[in-house]
Each structure stands twice: as C-alpha cells, then as structure tokens.
Structure 1
C-alpha cells in the first residue's frame, strides 16, 4: 500500500517508483490518493513505464484507492523526475 494522501502526483509518483522498484513482477500495489489528477496521472505513468493500471478500486470520503500490477521488464524512471525514463 502506498499512502499518497495529501501529496500532489509528482511526489506520489516518486514514492510509488521506489515501492515498485523493490516489488516482484505480478505484485499488486494499492495507492491511496487525494490529488484530483491521480485518475489521469497514474494510468499515464503505468503506460509510460509498462506497469499495468488496474483502475479505481474504491472511493472514500477523504481519498480514492487505485491499484496497479508490477510488470516484468518495466521501464524505470528517473528518481527525481518520475515522468522521465532513465537512460
């Protein structure tokens, strides 16, 4: 579970990047968000990296919960800029 409540997506993606980097392929990761851009940014980041966005799991009064699956052979992003692939 990645708690991204109170974070804008850039900080959330930096945190998510670290969690995903240490996870085995096939691992499902749940992400808690409050940023209204998360339903756009999370699928886009998954598309960029090659991970599988599974969608919105639940909406709570104070946050939303999304899920993604870690993919084997996914592309890594820069530690400080999660929208840029590592070279």
Structure 2
C-alpha cells in the first residue's frame, strides 16, 4: 500500500469531489489518498461521499484552516466513468 497526496485547496465541494473522483479512479484497491483541503465543509462532505462510493474514509487531521483527509480505495469501491459522474454501480 502506498499513500498519495492530493491538494484540493481553493476548491469547494462539487469541484473538489470531481477532482478527487478522477484521482481515486486511478488508484488500485488498497491505496490511500490524502486529500488536502481548506474547505471547512469537507469534514462532512468527504465521509458522505466515501460512503456513497464505497471508499473507506479513514479520518482527518486539521491544522487550523487546512484539513488532511485520508481516503482508501477498497475492493468494493465504485469505479465510475466520466459519463456517469455520481452513479455507483447497482
């Protein structure tokens, strides 16, 4: 397993999630992505999105206004394509 960092500072919810979705799609099961965000709503948005997409939300750390969220790709993670941005498989 390796850990990758992905900086989304300056992006809010929808744009941030689209960027994360594309990055997570590149990672194999077992890999982790540390998402760096300055969006305070990310502490709510990312756990909910991970649940929807069947990724594991490991947790977050905060250093003032910067949040470091750790997400993990699971064997059951939804793999979506650009044509189906939010729809996980049935």
CA shift in 2, pair 1:69/1:86, >3 Å: closer
Greater relative contact order structure (CA < 8 Å, 6+ sep):
1
Report the count of equivalent residues. Answer: 85
Give distance in 2, aligned partners of 1:80 and 1:60: 36
- Structure 1 outlier segments of 4+, above 3 Å: 76-82
Greater shift after overlay, 59-68 or 39-48? 59-68
Aligned to 1:65, the other structure's residue is in SS state strand
Counterpart in the other structure of 1:29:
33
Q: CA deviation at 1:47?
A: 0.3
**Structure 2: unaligned runs, 5 residues or longer:** none
Q: Is the 8 A contact 2:11 2:39 kept in 1?
A: yes
**Aligned pair partner of 2:74 in 52, 71, 76:** 71
**Structure 1: unaligned runs, 5 residues or longer:** none
Q: Is the 8 A contact 2:40 2:65 kept in 1?
A: no
Counterpart in the other structure of 2:49:
45
Alignment RMSD = 2.0
Greater shift after overlay, 28-37 or 58-67? 58-67
Deviations 1:3-59 (A, max 9, x none): 111110111111111111010101011000111110000000000000000011x21
Aligned to 1:43, the other structure's residue is in SS state helix
